[in-house]
Structure 1
């Protein structure tokens, strides 16, 4: 069976990139059908159930709000109209061995004062220089790189200004994040804290470029908690799309992206229900690592383990914490950060002493508990970084238990005695993430951002053959909720620009998501 009429758009994958592309295309007048293999929208903005409670089990913060303001303004609405937002005053709480703690705030002066109390006046002055430099890097890259088609080094230099060598050097392109941080902070705990920003794109601070300092400014510029959880954001974007006429379908796998006889142009997609969806263009919104097998289903894909970003072990469940007070976002640092990343990226094994991120989903940013049933425990999401080996290694129950035990030891050393109840928790290891996101090995951020050229190695929105476009967190501009949304916008705009160049409208399919699935443009039930 085939489907598709003039100007029909089929989007496979209701993750953030697919939702963004749907909104851009629908607001431009395209008839859009979105299809996904999951039970609902969101992709990595997934939701799980444990102990009778629902948990956000993916990204837990919203930053770069302007991305969604701009996206939704095209649709005649606003982010605040669609979801209730609370801007965080306290960005995150951090603990080290013995319970030494430091809070970071959405205010440079408050942070300088807190760092001064924690580590001394010299470190406070270093933070002020760091905050200024991170803001400068962000301003240089926001329009020239982040919200733009992927540049190469020369075109990026031209956008920033070849006559502004000082601006180009301010990006610190040849320094690692860790080495750059030593120029601001003598205290290793502060290098560890700000080095953690590399993990936001699944990378090691010892290998990632210093450009990632910009994350500090992104957080200072605003972190929001979505009331009802991050998964609700995906559902509300879906609701906006439905108001624009977008139709959503779920539960059908794409088994191939089809090409013409020459192999140089897209003709559509085929699904596991023997359904062919003919289309002149495809936007692939899955992980780029899965693309090769869809273009050539009979070929065994090459595993590029060394290039992969971090994976994770995520454990969600009710618990009753004691000891040091939690905030909504709390980080418990390991004793040896370098050993932790060496274990994951060089030895390809879980770290024996991991850094733990805990999202206390029933707490305000400052730590006040909201509406938790007495005695049942509060909803805690706990995460440790892991190697992306989920396509070559099936994690056994005993291996997962060892990881959970290492998490419990680190939490206790840093002042939080906590029992992670294996009987009620929802646990996802790298092999589970690989099943959710095929071809990745469980890597959650595409390729690791290691080396000065890492950002330029991510695929652009233009695919390898005519009519194929790419979106999602594994392509430019990179991983994260706002970045994925930008990738969908960039891919949709590239497609529309190519259509305008051709001068006529043709059927379109957009593929991707988790797992890669499709239906025809025939929207009848």
Structure 2
């Protein structure tokens, strides 16, 4: 048996207790010590070890990247500051109420099925998806409502109910949407866009589709009714974009929902994240949660590992940053001279709006509020003017629109029997505006205003709240290290997309790759998961230990 002092030294190296390490070793022969060490932590050298890849951030983009790197033969270590995987798709549980903190729906299930297939697995074995129909209900102050559904005839009936003269415009809008889906989603989402030629090639198609026009501008061209203009143009808000400015290419969402539907994962997006992490672990990957990366280390222009906040250095052959692109370049690479993504350049970018999110659980209300479904969008009295307040003026307005998520109608695991779990979101300005909102001062007053509006839709709810958590842009800044506390990284404007967005293969450092909302193709769960597919086309396959990986031709700038 190994000496007591050797066991102490190696347990200190691993950062585990001596007792835990001794227990693991007790069932192994001494000859297996190196294997045990390498299983517990890839920093420990092994003669036949595969190249090591570090993934910074266990968000959905980082998890998808880790899965694809494991398939390529890398030893993968995922580092994250939170206590559980998922990033913005993680959750908090209080008193039996699970609050899914970020994404709430699953669209384009094929994206996840393809990811699992690439790893030699079947998505349906790990995650249960439930289709939602209607997808959501939109409400206006005048009492009118609109339900979005997958069936075209039912959608036309809804349009006709609000505005009979707009049915023809809706049919044209659907054709607009399908054409944009073919070009923008099928043609670009999973394709590397780090060469400017790839963007130049699609410009004629963009011109033909009037990509210069905003999605709200397209809706105005197709619908006379202001309510329908809103209902067909608000979707970019769910990836952080101002519908007044975001390209009409995002009209593709209407066709995407029609073709693939809208789904909910039983167990929430947290379940999806946990399933992804389990695949990584089964591939041999390691997770170190509660671990903060302070800097990406660079030697002779090549990424060589990371330095942790604790001072620990971890070597890697390649690094994938799933941290926000802004944080990656302005903080993690602060010690390296940058040619394109300088601090000044990042500061000049337009960032997505912030989010005020109120999570609460109510006692014994499962049978109440029967007209409030899984997803409800409550409009305030203004649309365009409110968007201007949020995105341009940086003003916290007295009126607002709300997204109400009530997953307990679909998922019995989200709350104790008979109870409800709610998630109420309001788009608000990010923290980068002049005279930005002081949330420590204003949070209670704003929540009271939100509560007053909610009372009109779920009357009596406030007296039945038994658990609650509130997130503001300050929490997004501190919890997720999001620049300006923005909810979705860089705003998805046309000149901040494709080649104009931070590339999946870093322009600044060899051996560094980016995944997640801040790189191509952008925010939204299908986008961040697809960023890993783009990455997989650029990251070299694992080479024998000691041999520097050769970049894929696609990754050569």
Structure 1 match to 2:444: 401
The alignment covers a number of residue pairs equal to 494
Partner Cα separation in structure 2 for residue 459 and residue 507 of structure 1: 22
Partner Cα separation in structure 1 for residue 511 and residue 414 of structure 2: 49
Structure 2 match to 1:231: 270
Work out whether residues 321 and 515 of structure 2, in 8 Å CA contact, stay in contact via their aligned partners in 1: yes
Deviation at 1:42, TM superposition (A): 0.4
Work out whether residues 54 and 318 of structure 2, in 8 Å CA contact, stay in contact via their aligned partners in 1: no
Partner Cα separation in structure 1 for residue 503 and residue 89 of structure 2: 23
Distance 1:298 1:265, change over 3 A: closer
Partner Cα separation in structure 2 for residue 373 and residue 110 of structure 1: 33
5+ residue gaps in structure 1?
Answer: 509-525
Structure 1 match to 2:392: 346
Structure 2 match to 1:205: 243
User: SS state of the match for residue 268, structure 1?
Assistant: strand
Work out whether residues 505 and 535 of structure 2, in 8 Å CA contact, stay in contact via their aligned partners in 1: yes
Distance 1:153 1:271, change over 3 A: closer
Partner Cα separation in structure 1 for residue 57 and residue 234 of structure 2: 30
Distance 1:140 1:47, change over 3 A: same
Structure 2 match to 1:382: 424
The structure in which a higher percent of residues are helix is 2
Partner Cα separation in structure 2 for residue 371 and residue 256 of structure 1: 40
Work out whether residues 56 and 319 of structure 2, in 8 Å CA contact, stay in contact via their aligned partners in 1: no
Deviation at 1:351, TM superposition (A): 2.5
Distance 1:152 1:138, change over 3 A: farther
User: SS state of the match for residue 114, structure 2?
Assistant: helix
Name which of structure 1's ranges 45-54 and 477-486 shifts more when overlaid on structure 2.
45-54
Structure 2 match to 1:109: 153
Distance 1:92 1:66, change over 3 A: same
2:125 is aligned with 1:125:
no
Deviation at 1:192, TM superposition (A): 1.0
Work out whether residues 315 and 382 of structure 1, in 8 Å CA contact, stay in contact via their aligned partners in 2: yes
Partner Cα separation in structure 2 for residue 452 and residue 179 of structure 1: 18
Distance 1:285 1:306, change over 3 A: closer
Aligned partner of 1:427 among 470, 476, 479: 470
Structure 1 match to 2:76: 32
Aligned partner of 1:469 among 504, 513, 523: 513
TM-score (ref. length: structure 2)? 0.81
Bigger-Rg structure (1/2) = 2
Q: How large is the Cα RMSD of the aligned pairs?
A: 3.1
Structure 2 match to 1:195: 233
Structure 2 match to 1:485: 529
Partner Cα separation in structure 2 for residue 458 and residue 370 of structure 1: 36
Structure 1 match to 2:315: 278
5+ residue gaps in structure 2?
Answer: 1-12, 14-42, 552-557
2:84 is aligned with 1:45:
no
Work out whether residues 51 and 316 of structure 2, in 8 Å CA contact, stay in contact via their aligned partners in 1: no
Give the structure, 1 or 2, with the largest relative contact order (CA under 8 Å, sep 6 or more): 1
Aligned partner of 1:64 among 98, 108, 114: 108
2:154 is aligned with 1:84:
no
Work out whether residues 56 and 62 of structure 2, in 8 Å CA contact, stay in contact via their aligned partners in 1: yes
Structure 1 match to 2:61: 17
Partner Cα separation in structure 2 for residue 430 and residue 269 of structure 1: 28
Work out whether residues 362 and 370 of structure 1, in 8 Å CA contact, stay in contact via their aligned partners in 2: yes
Structure 2 match to 1:253: 292
Partner Cα separation in structure 1 for residue 158 and residue 547 of structure 2: 59
Distance 1:297 1:255, change over 3 A: farther
